Amino acid sequence: MTATLLAVALSLISAVAYATAAVAQERLAARTAAQGHGGGLRLLANSAWWAAVGLNAGGALLHVAALRYGTLTLVQPLGALTLVAAVPLGAHRAGRRVARREWQGTVLTLAGLAALLLTASGPAPDDALSLTEALLVAGATSTLLALLARPGGRPGLRHATASGLASGIASALTQTLTVSAGGPHLPLWQAGIVALLVAAFAAGGLLLAQTAYRGGLGAPLAVLTLANPVAAAVVGLSLLGEHLRGGAPGLGLTLGGALVAAWGVVLLSRASARQPGASTVVRGSASVPPPQEPAPPREPVPDPLPVETLPLALRTVPVPPPVLPRPADGPAHAHGGRGPRAA
């Protein structure tokens, strides 16, 4: 199996793991919200929550392995496969059919990614960022994040863009670590610094995504999913010697495939926004479900009264009127006759 096929296979399995975890988290969040409790301590005792954590961890490890065998321009766009895999899984769990918009988004995303595979495939990466390059990338990215994350205005799309950039740079730095593990690219202490940068950008992407989803899911999800591979591709093409195959025609095919895949991602994101409680996980990024609003308190429903206590007007069985006692006959001499006096 070539390095490209291995990277694609690992990316596909990673996407399925992430999508399965997302669906499980969605159902768990809906169930705990309906029950009126969703605290962290209760989740620690829930086996479904631990299963979702394990799937997310497995997806992350598979993504790291894919970065060892595939270029950034190949692996990062495949993160959109998570949205594709979540479509049939979510529909099956919800007991519904896949919507037409979801089918359209799936087909467009797969077609666009197939075009990217033709031009972005190549040998396993063997180049890594130096510590100086990693620090320069981190500094430039931090400046952009500070500009995008500034308060004021409508921060949803800005924070989504910042989250995608942070997650894409975290993946680029992660690839440097995976390549350095098999060669003398970075001394151990320098690798430790890069690892700290990875943790910082991953955490920043997580927090930014959380705030981006406050204004809705559809548009921020699409922007985050698209900004992630763009940031990683910039690092790969400019600093790691990655290139697209096919010359000018290959570049045109890449741009066309990227546009088609982007439109598919937009359709899938809009479809996800229409599903109640939809959660999202974007591969290779700090993935979070959208914040779950607490369920509104239910008004207590009074218990039905027993039949014996219902008023007469509400009973279904008619009640005969009470029988009044007949007055006793008076003495005969009182009115000169034997019976009651005639009127």
Q: Are 209 and 163 in contact (CB under 8 A)?
A: yes
Convert 307-342 to b/e letters by CB count within 10 Å (16 or more is b): eeeeeeeeeeeeeeeeeeeeeeeeeeeeeeeeeeee
pLDDT at 342: 46
Cα dihedral 35, 39, 43, 46, rounded to 10, equals -30
pLDDT at 248: 86
Q: Name the token pair of 337.
A: 């006759």
Q: How many residues does the chain have?
A: 343
pLDDT at 75: 92
pLDDT at 39: 54
Q: Are 43 and 88 in contact (CB under 8 A)?
A: no
pLDDT at 297: 53
Neighbours of 81 (CB within 10 A): 22
pLDDT at 34: 64
Q: Name the token pair of 94.
A: 């919800």
Rounded to an integer, what distance in angstroms lies between the CA atom of residue 68 and that of residue 204?
23
Full pLDDT tens readout for the chain, 343 residues: 688 899 999 999 999 998 888 888 777 766 766 666 555 567 677 787 888 888 888 999 999 999 999 999 999 999 888 888 888 888 887 788 888 888 998 999 999 998 888 888 777 788 889 999 999 999 999 999 999 988 776 778 889 899 999 999 999 999 999 988 756 678 888 999 999 999 999 999 888 887 887 766 677 878 888 899 999 999 999 998 888 888 888 889 989 999 999 998 888 887 766 665 444 444 454 444 444 444 455 555 555 544 444 343 333 444 445 555 555 554 444 444 445 444 4
pLDDT at 66: 93
What ranges do the domains of the chain cover? 3-274
Please name the amino acid found at residue 340.
P
Neighbours of 46 (CB within 10 A): 14
pLDDT at 40: 57
pLDDT at 155: 77
Q: Name the pTM for this structure.
A: 0.72
Rounded to an integer, what distance in angstroms lies between the CA atom of residue 232 and that of residue 218?
22
Contacts of residue 271, Cβ cutoff 8 Å, sequence gap at least 6: 87, 99, 101, 102, 105
Q: Name the token pair of 19.
A: 């999508």
